[in-house]
């Protein structure tokens, strides 16, 4: 069976993680790396033994003609780079979130359909061993009927966290609960409901966000509901990043690389304890350099390309995640329940600012720590 030829665009943290999984998988071969800066592309090229190294995406596409181009850059560059890769004839694996704007995501899906190409969005946790264990236990009836989901982030600033880790949490909630049909949300900054001036550009080029503390209620099919919590903590706490799945007869708990089962629907002191679910990596995965979930994501994409279908973490699924995120901002701004899909595809916070006569949000520091300090000063906290 053929090996798919992979080109990596962006050779930093996420690009390197994806490249290692593609390098390990027997059906994929990394044939080129691309980065504006020489040190990261040289380092990754040396690690994987890849000779074709580029600073220009279009030159790389023309010279190598990869089957799959991996866009692992800053979020604000996703749309342009993914568009150029699709126009160059490649399938696209784009880091999450798919874009900063729904109109951009819609355009990519339309272009991919026109060109007969596939888009995958790198929500690797959805197909990793821990999520497979949770979904398997749910399908086996170990918690009875699904009734409620509770997801939480790592304690970043709420709006930033929603566009960062929140993309994974929402995607995992959708993997369990199905499509989200409506939602409502509370978005607070400095303890108060956000106003138009609180709609600000996020760190890392992730687009407009609003709210330090975000609590959203999501509605799924068959009466299943869920709550997503993205609250700013004094310090980021990765242990808070989890998804709890509640059923009529038990509970399941997902954490990255872990899965647990509680055989009763409600916690009872001195009652049954949480039990770890066995995790089963895919055949062919060897623990070491590549992350297990990234390897599973690669395998899922390979199977989709073989069949001519969509991967589980498809462009459409990634767009639905972004629609939920934008819906949360829209609900927080309006104080009203928002139905999905949203008929207006431009950013709701951009429309909100414009409707109040505010200019475009000002440029902000790209680094998270510097951005957070600037936001504290905007809210009248911290130094001058």
**Alpha-helical runs (H) found in the chain:** 13-24, 38-48, 57-64, 78-87, 102-115, 129-139, 158-163, 165-177, 292-307, 315-334, 348-355, 368-378
Q: Is 377 helix (H, G, I), strand (E, B) or coil?
A: helix
Does 125-384 carry CATH code 3.30.360.10? Answer: yes
In which residue ranges of the chain is CATH 3.30.360.10 found?
125-384
Peptide bond into 111 cis (omega under 30): no
Cα angle vertex 121, ends 183, 227, to 5°?
25
Peptide bond into 280 cis (omega under 30): no
Contact yes or no for 164/156 (Cβ under 8 A): yes
Which pLDDT tens digit goes with each residue over 101-140?
Answer: 999 999 999 999 999 999 999 999 999 999 999 999 999 9
Whole-angstrom distance, CA of residue 351 vs CA of residue 357? 10
Annotate 214-230 with b (16+ C-beta within 10 A) or e (fewer).
bbbbbbbeeebebebbb
- pLDDT score of 383: 53
How many other C-beta atoms can be found within 10 angstroms of the C-beta atom of residue 107?
Answer: 16
| Rounded (to 5) percent helix, strand, coil in the chain | 40, 20, 35
Which pLDDT tens digit goes with each residue over 173-196?
Answer: 999 999 999 999 999 999 999 999
Whole-angstrom distance, CA of residue 65 vs CA of residue 57? 11
pTM for this prediction = 0.96
Whole-angstrom distance, CA of residue 193 vs CA of residue 336? 13
CA 283 from chain center: how many Å?
25
Q: Could you give the percent of the chain with pLDDT greater than 70? A: 99
Which pLDDT tens digit goes with each residue over 2-17?
Answer: 799 999 999 999 999 9
In which residue ranges of the chain is CATH 3.40.50.720 found?
4-117
Which pLDDT tens digit goes with each residue over 223-274?
Answer: 999 999 999 999 999 999 999 999 999 999 999 999 999 999 998 899 999 9
Partner residues linked to 34 by β-bridges = 9, 54
Whole-angstrom distance, CA of residue 132 vs CA of residue 254? 10
Which pLDDT tens digit goes with each residue over 306-326?
Answer: 999 999 999 999 999 999 999
Which residues, other chains included, contact 334 with Cβ-Cβ below 8 Å and sequence gap of 6+? none
Contact yes or no for 298/311 (Cβ under 8 A): no
- pLDDT score of 2: 79
Whole-angstrom distance, CA of residue 350 vs CA of residue 287? 45
Rounded mean pLDDT of the chain?
96
Give the model's confidence band at 384: pLDDT under 50 very low, under 70 low, under 90 confident, else very high. very low
Q: 367 — phi, psi (to 5°)? A: -70, 140
Domain topology for 4-117: Rossmann fold (3.40.50)
Which pLDDT tens digit goes with each residue over 266-311?
Answer: 988 999 999 999 999 999 999 988 999 999 999 999 999 999 999 9
Whole-angstrom distance, CA of residue 173 vs CA of residue 313? 13
């Amino acid at each position: 069976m053929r090996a798919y030829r992979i080109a990596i665009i962006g050779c930093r943290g996420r690009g390197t993680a994806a490249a290692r999984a593609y390098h390990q998988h027997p059906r994929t071969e990394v044939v080129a790396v691309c980065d504006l800066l020489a040190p990261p592309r040289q380092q990754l090229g040396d690690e994987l033994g890849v000779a074709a190294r580029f600073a220009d995406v279009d030159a790389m596409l023309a010279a190598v003609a990869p089957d799959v181009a991996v866009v692992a850059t800053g979020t604000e560059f996703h749309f342009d780079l993914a568009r150029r890769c699709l126009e160059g004839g490649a399938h696209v694996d784009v880091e999450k979130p798919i874009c900063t704007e729904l109109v951009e995501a819609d355009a990519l899906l339309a272009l991919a359909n026109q060109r007969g190409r596939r888009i995958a969005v790198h929500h690797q946790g959805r197909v990793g061993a821990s999520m497979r264990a949770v979904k398997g236990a749910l399908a086996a009836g170990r918690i009875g009927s699904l009734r409620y989901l509770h997801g939480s982030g790592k304690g970043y600033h709420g709006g930033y966290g929603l566009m960062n880790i929140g993309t994974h949490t929402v995607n995992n909630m959708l993997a369990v609960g199905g499509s989200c049909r409506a939602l409502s949300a509370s978005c607070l900054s400095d303890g108060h409901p956000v106003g138009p001036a609180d709609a600000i550009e996020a760190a890392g080029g992730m687009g407009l966000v609003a709210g330090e503390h975000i609590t959203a209620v999501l509605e799924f099919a068959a009466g299943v509901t869920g709550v997503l919590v993205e609250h700013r903590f004094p310090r980021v706490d990765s242990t808070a990043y989890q998804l709890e799945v509640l059923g009529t007869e038990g509970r399941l708990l997902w954490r990255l690389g872990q899965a647990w089962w509680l055989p009763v629907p409600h916690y009872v002191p001195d009652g049954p304890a949480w039990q770890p679910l066995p995790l089963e990596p895919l055949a062919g995965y060897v623990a070491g350099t590549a992350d297990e979930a990234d390897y599973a994501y690669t395998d899922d994409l390979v199977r989709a390309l073989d069949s001519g279908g969509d991967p589980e973490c498809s462009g459409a699924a990634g767009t639905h995640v972004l629609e939920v995120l934008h819906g949360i901002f829209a609900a927080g701004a309006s104080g009203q329940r928002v139905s999905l899909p949203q008929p207006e595809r431009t950013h709701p916070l951009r429309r909100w600012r414009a409707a109040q006569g505010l200019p475009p949000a000002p440029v902000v520091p790209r680094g998270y720590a510097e951005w957070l300090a600037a936001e504290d000063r905007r809210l009248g906290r911290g130094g001058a």
